[in-house]
Amino acid sequence: MAKKRTTKNKAVKQKHNGAKITEWQRESQKIVEQKEEEVNIEIPQQAEFFKTPIRFGNIPVDKLPLGCDEKEQYRKIYPKISLPFQVVEKVSFGHKDLEPNQLIFGDNLHVMRSLPSNSIDLVYIDPPFFSGRNYNVVFGDQNEVRSFTDIWEGGMPGYLTWLNARLLEMKRLLKPTGSIFVHCDWHASHYIKCELDKIFGYEKFLNEIIWGYSIGGKSKDKFGRKHDIILWYRKGTGHIFNPEGAKVPRKPNSHMKLLLDSEGRQYQQKTDAKTGKIYKYYIDAGKVAEDYWTDIETLNYEDVERIGYPTQKPEKLLKRIITTASNPGDSVADFFCGGGTTPSVAQKLGRKWIVSDISKIAVSVTRDRLLRAVLGENKKEVQQSLGKVPDIMIANWGVYEVLEIVKMNEETFRNFVISAYNGRLTSSEGKIHGYKQSVPIFVGSPSQEEPVTEKEVIDFAKHIVKSKGHHQGTMIAWGFTPGARNAAQQLEVQKAIAIDFVKIQLIPIESNEFKEHITSKHPEYKNLLKFILPPEVRISTKRTANLEYEFDVSESVSLNPRGRIINVQWDFSFNGERFISTPGYSFLGMKNNKPVLKINYKFASAGKKKIACKVQDDEGGEKVEIFEMNAK
Ligand SMILES: C[S@@+](CC[C@H](N)C(=O)[O-])C[C@H]1O[C@@H](n2cnc3c(N)ncnc32)[C@H](O)[C@@H]1O
């Protein structure tokens, strides 16, 4: 749906394959209602701070962040697009009283723009590095491919502009006591540091953490590039630092003497030359880590926590960051969540979390990982050791599942229409369902069989004049009766009340008409607004040995234009309720540049098996197919 409509009778068109829209999940509203007025985040004035001798010229920190416009900030290059969230799943762990954690599928810039300011305690991001197009396009997931093609077109400045727009949003979302960790490597870290100095302020810099590891290939002509850089900034003048969260072993190899106490414990001792005071450091008590971390290795193929996500980071790394820079109950965000390391650790440490990713596979893999961590063997009982775990709300932004839209009820339909029309919702004002700027909006029935009537037009007109003194209103509906049109004309001529009609139309999802309609008015929507269908899943099974079978979904087809099947997840002990992939069958990766869609599985015992298979295409389409078989 388009963003700005001011003229009469403009059609709100929806890409749809002819199905009727009847229900919209109420929860999506909760997120949408949090939308705020546009706020410009203050960018620190640093010219004074950085007065350098003229002959050295200016160093970059006294300028605005790259790509930032003084007035519009990043809204000029990345226009604000108001689309609603579509809640596609709510995973319940039985604690309705707790605010749910959120996993969002969509472009993080737009996701963040819909979230409230000053609401997050800690942000960790591990954005794609500036290291070359193919390396970063992890899955060939179209959403990710598009995002990268755009970034790389502008080279390093393009990348930094893309990242800056997002960093500025993260700053807005952080609480005044909050802080951000930006994980990068040699490709762009120095450039990113300069931009962070401009966005957060040089004086808000806390640490450049060197995360050193050794796994991976070595270089023949230079030293091995074996460290990443994590830049830590705070938003305000104070921040959380729990040093106990970053304890490392103390190595007895420094200038201090190594001694043994009466119980045989090793310690080092130092005497202050001035005061004569003696300091004792027990080796087994460890020490707070410095800003170089060499005690955490990258994940190798055998690691139990490895889920196969190509850029997956170790939980130990996130554990150190989250424990050190947040407290239990705080909210942690990762807007490039990938395989879900941040929410997985945050959940284990009793933090609230909100995460997003532009890749459907990343979202699916993250969902699975989180569920597996919380649920017991039977996939029903919540693991007691984790305490009260909030529910998980999974929502889409900008990519809408048609089959969910058709289930909308009256209230959610209204809310969806108004949000998509870029209006503001009102809770209970009788005939007024929302406003666009100050113009009242009425939304007709979700049923296509019930057009707006003459009486509804007159009642709406009366209501807006009586309650608000307005002489202008907008009615959005599937259709309007001739009597309704007549009434609107009469009102305009006789009473100078202008009622605009905006007609919602259903047009086939695969037609170009929809895209043309939207993009002719709003080219910026081109890559963002999509309506997707689940793929058609075709499974073939072949017995290969005793209790062992080959499962193949390569004949499955994406029903989305240009869509390609790119991943399959398997749950070989489906409990009829929740899909949770069998370990090792969450993300099968690529072989010779092709997704692995054929796998082998050996059952532990013979008998009837209930199996669920979840297939994803590269346009964001996903479907779960459930079947039974007799394992022999
Ligand atoms: C380096 S990976 C993150 C890996 C993650 N830290 C982990 O441990 O699994 C970067 C992720 O950013 C996602 N991404 C790229 N552009 C994005 C965007 N505009 N919005 C949201 N996610 C994006 C990619 O899909 C990819 O999953």
Residues 14-69: pLDDT tens digits?
333 333 333 434 444 444 444 555 678 888 876 555 555 555 454 555 578 999 99
Residues 208 and 267 in one domain: no
- DSSP assignment of 260-292, as one string? E-TTS-EEEEEE-TTT--EEEEEGGG-EE--SE
Ligand 1 center to 358 CA (angstroms): 7
Q: Would you call 172 exposed, middle or buried from its count of C-beta atoms within 10 A (0-12, 13-18, 19+)? A: buried
pLDDT in tens, 537-590: 999 999 999 999 999 999 999 988 788 898 999 999 998 888 989 988 988 887
Parallel, antiparallel or unpaired: strands 530-532 and 548-552: unpaired
Least confident of 30-44, 317-331, 371-385: 30-44
Least confident of 94-98, 128-132, 397-401: 128-132
pLDDT at 422: 77
C-alpha Rg value of the chain to the nearest Å: 28
What count of other Cβ atoms lies within 10 Å of the Cβ of residue 214?
11
Q: Assess whether pLDDT exceeds 90 at residue 254.
A: no
Residues 204 and 292 in one domain: yes
- Tell whether ligand 1 has an atom less than 6 A from the beta carbon of residue 104: no
The two structure tokens encoding residue 106:
């969509």
Specify the residue with its C-alpha closest to ligand 1, atom 12: 336
Ligand 1 center to 112 CA (angstroms): 14
Ligand 1 center to 334 CA (angstroms): 9
Specify the residue with its C-alpha closest to ligand 1, atom 2: 338
pLDDT at 297: 93
3-state secondary structure of 516: helix
**Containing H/E element for 550?**
strand 548-552
Residues 317 and 444 in one domain: no
- Count of domains forming the chain: 4
Q: Assess whether pLDDT exceeds 80 at residue 114.
A: yes
Residues 584 and 569 in one domain: yes
- Tell whether ligand 1 has an atom less than 6 A from the beta carbon of residue 313: yes
Least confident of 69-73, 526-530, 598-602: 526-530
pLDDT at 1: 35
Residue at a domain's end among 262, 285, 308: 285
pLDDT in tens, 268-309: 888 888 998 988 889 888 899 999 999 999 998 788 888 878
Assign residue 545 the CATH number of its domain.
2.60.40.10
Mutate to test the pocket of ligand 1, among 311, 316, 356, 361 (most ligand atoms within 8 A of CB): 311
- How large is the average pLDDT for residues 144-164? 75
Specify the residue with its C-alpha closest to ligand 1, atom 27: 338
Domain assignment present for 523: no
Q: Kindly give the number of the ligand 1 atom that is closest to the alpha carbon of 313.
A: 8
Residue at a domain's end among 397, 418, 439: 397
pLDDT in tens, 159-176: 899 999 999 999 999 999
- Tell whether ligand 1 has an atom less than 6 A from the beta carbon of residue 315: no
- Tell whether ligand 1 has an atom less than 6 A from the beta carbon of residue 147: yes
Ligand 1 center to 194 CA (angstroms): 22
Ligand 1 center to 402 CA (angstroms): 25
Domain assignment present for 46: no
pLDDT at 208: 98
Domain assignment present for 123: yes
pLDDT at 407: 67
Q: Assess whether pLDDT exceeds 50 at residue 618.
A: yes
Q: What is the C-alpha to C-alpha distance for residues 195 and 200, in angstroms, rounded to an integer?
A: 9
How far is CA 400 from its chain centroid?
15
Residue numbers of the domain that contains 19 = 12-25+405-507
The β-bridge partners of 504 are: 12
pLDDT at 255: 76
- Tell whether ligand 1 has an atom less than 6 A from the beta carbon of residue 311: yes
Domain assignment present for 190: yes
Residue 249 near residue 234, CB atoms below 8 Å: no
Residue at a domain's end among 397, 431, 463: 397
pLDDT in tens, 419-438: 777 788 887 667 889 988 88
Domain assignment present for 297: yes
The β-bridge partners of 248 are: 287
Residues 552 and 610 in one domain: yes
Q: What is the C-alpha to C-alpha distance for residues 183 and 468, in angstroms, rounded to an integer?
A: 51
Assign residue 436 the CATH number of its domain.
3.40.1350
pLDDT in tens, 190-245: 999 999 999 999 999 999 999 999 887 788 899 999 999 999 999 999 999 999 98
Residues 356 and 270 in one domain: no
Confidence class for position 320, pLDDT limits 50, 70, 90: very high
The two structure tokens encoding residue 103:
């996993």
**Residue carrying structure tokens 């959403």:** 143
Domain assignment present for 42: no
Q: Identify the DSSP state of 382.
A: B
Range with the largest mean pLDDT of 369-383, 402-416, 544-558:
544-558
Ligand 1 center to 128 CA (angstroms): 6
- How large is the average pLDDT for residues 470-483? 90
pLDDT at 288: 93
Q: What is the C-alpha to C-alpha distance for residues 385 and 373, in angstroms, rounded to an integer?
A: 11
Instruction: Cite the DSSP H helix spans in 186-314.
Output: 189-200
Residues 20 and 164 in one domain: no
Q: What is the C-alpha to C-alpha distance for residues 219 and 580, in angstroms, rounded to an integer?
A: 40
Residues 216 and 157 in one domain: yes
Residues 205 and 328 in one domain: yes
Q: Assess whether pLDDT exceeds 60 at residue 511.
A: no
- Tell whether ligand 1 has an atom less than 6 A from the beta carbon of residue 309: yes
Domain assignment present for 528: no
- Tell whether ligand 1 has an atom less than 6 A from the beta carbon of residue 144: yes
Residues 274 and 374 in one domain: no
Residues 338 and 237 in one domain: yes
Cα-based torsion angle of the residue sequence 508, 509, 515, 521 in order, rounded to the nearest 10 degrees:
70
pLDDT at 308: 77
Assign residue 64 the CATH number of its domain.
3.40.50.150
Helix 142-153 / helix 155-173 crossing angle, nearest 10 deg: 120
- Tell whether ligand 1 has an atom less than 6 A from the beta carbon of residue 266: no
3-state secondary structure of 491: helix
Residues 600 and 624 in one domain: yes
Which carries the bigger pLDDT value, residue 185 or residue 448? 185
Specify the residue with its C-alpha closest to ligand 1, atom 26: 338
Ligand 1 center to 137 CA (angstroms): 10
Confidence class for position 328, pLDDT limits 50, 70, 90: very high
- Tell whether ligand 1 has an atom less than 6 A from the beta carbon of residue 338: yes
Q: Percent of the chain, pLDDT > 90? A: 45
Domain assignment present for 622: yes
Q: Which residues of 80-97 are buried (b: 16+ CB within 10 A; e: fewer)?
A: ebbbbbbbbeebebeeee
- Tell whether ligand 1 has an atom less than 6 A from the beta carbon of residue 362: yes
Specify the residue with its C-alpha closest to ligand 1, atom 13: 336
The two structure tokens encoding residue 220:
């023949």
The β-bridge partners of 616 are: 567, 622
Q: What is the C-alpha to C-alpha distance for residues 500 and 270, in angstroms, rounded to an integer?
A: 82
pLDDT at 33: 47
Q: Which residues of 32-59 are buried (b: 16+ CB within 10 A; e: fewer)?
A: beebeeeeebebeebeeeeeeeeeeeee
**Residue carrying structure tokens 């200016």:** 58
Least confident of 68-77, 201-210, 465-474, 505-514: 505-514
pLDDT at 359: 86
Which carries the bigger pLDDT value, residue 147 or residue 112? 112
Task: Compute φ and ψ for 189, nearest 5 degrees.
Answer: -55, -40
Ligand 1 center to 126 CA (angstroms): 7
